[in-house]
């Protein structure tokens, strides 16, 4: 059976639009009241017998701009990533790395935790938490 090239191209275009929409929803939320872009960084949570390791991808964010808040519901990470500086007369060909203010609340497993420490390396914030 011969495949209609137009049908295949249409299906591929729809697949790419669905993927772009999913990425947009993942990284960009509603604008904040001050007009800043909101976004949520991807997070890994790995649980050991007595500790949690939480890794938050924060490309281009300086450590002194990160705020952490631990409470009974989990841990919240707040920061701001500056938009890229562009010279006059440039054309942005692609802009996929999110920027602006974000606040990511990470639910933790049942129990109480203490933040043992955090490091920022290679664009990732790593949090070590101990179960109390």
Name, in order, each residue with C-beta under 8 angstroms of 66's C-beta and a sequence gap of 6 or more.
58, 77, 78, 79, 120, 125
The domains of the chain are located at: 5-131
Taking the model in full, what pTM does it have?
0.69
Model confidence at 49: pLDDT above 60: yes
For domain 5-131, give the fold. Answer: Immunoglobulin-like (2.60.40)
- Round to whole Å and give the CA distance between 5 and 27: 33
Q: What is the token pair recorded at 59? A: 């490309």
**pLDDT tens by residue, 8-27:** 677 776 677 667 666 555 55
CA 67 to chain centre: 15
> What does the pLDDT read at residue 5?
62
**pLDDT tens by residue, 94-128:** 888 888 888 899 999 998 999 999 999 999 999 99
Instruction: Give CA separation, 119 vs 98, 109, 124, in Å.
Output: 21, 21, 8
Runs of H (alpha helix) within 1-132: 5-27
């Amino acid at each position: 059976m011969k495949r209609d090239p137009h049908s295949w191209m249409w299906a591929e275009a729809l697949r790419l639009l669905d993927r772009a929409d999913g990425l947009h929803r993942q990284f960009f939320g509603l604008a904040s009241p001050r007009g800043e872009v909101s976004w949520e960084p991807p997070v890994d949570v790995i649980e050991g017998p007595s500790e949690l390791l939480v890794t938050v991808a924060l490309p281009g964010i300086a450590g002194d701009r990160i705020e952490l808040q631990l409470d009974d519901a989990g841990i919240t990470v707040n920061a701001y990533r500056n938009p890229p500086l562009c010279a006059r007369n440039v054309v942005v060909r692609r802009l996929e790395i999110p920027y602006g203010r974000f606040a990511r609340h990470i639910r933790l497993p049942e129990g109480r935790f203490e933040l043992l420490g955090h490091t920022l390396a290679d664009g990732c914030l790593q949090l070590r938490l101990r179960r109390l």
